[in-house]
Amino acid sequence: MSDPMRIRAQAQGDKTTVRVLVSHEMESGQRKDAAGKTVPAWFIQTINATWNGKTVMSAQWGTAVSKNPFVQFSFKGGKAGDKIVVNWVDNHGDKRSDEALVA
Partner 1 sequence: MKSSLYGPAALAALTALALFPLSAAAQKSTAEGIAEYRAMLADGNPAELYEAKGELIWKQARGPKNASLEKCDLGKGPGVVKGTFVELPRFFADTRRVQDLESRLLTCMEQLQGFNAADIAKTSFGTGEQKTIESLVAYISGESRGMSFNLPQAHAQEKLMYEVGKKVFYLRGGPYDFSCASCHGEDNKRVRLQDLPNLTKEPGASTGFGAWPAYRVSSGDLWSMQRRLNDCYRQQRFPFPGYASDATIALGVYMGVNSKGGASTAPALKR
Partner 2 sequence: MERREFLTSSSGATALALAAASGLVPAYAQNAPGWNKVAFDSKSFAEAAKTLGATSAPVESKELVLQAPEIAENGSVVRVGAQSSMANTTQIAFVVEKNPSALAALFDIPAGTDASVSTNIKMGQSSNVYALAKVGDKYFYAVKEVKVTLGGCGG
Site for partner 1, rule CB under 8 A: 3-4, 6, 19, 21, 23, 25, 67-68, 70, 72
CA 20 to chain centre: 6
Q: Which is nearer to partner 2, 7 or 90 (CB)?
A: 90
Between CA 35 and CA 84 the distance in angstroms is 43
Phi first, then psi, for residue 85 (nearest 5°) are: -120, 130
Report the nearest approach of partner 2 to the CB of residue 54 (Å).
Answer: 8
Report the nearest approach of partner 1 to the CB of residue 3 (Å).
Answer: 6
Side-chain half-sphere of 57: how many Cα atoms within 13 Å? 23
Report the nearest approach of partner 2 to the CB of residue 24 (Å).
Answer: 12
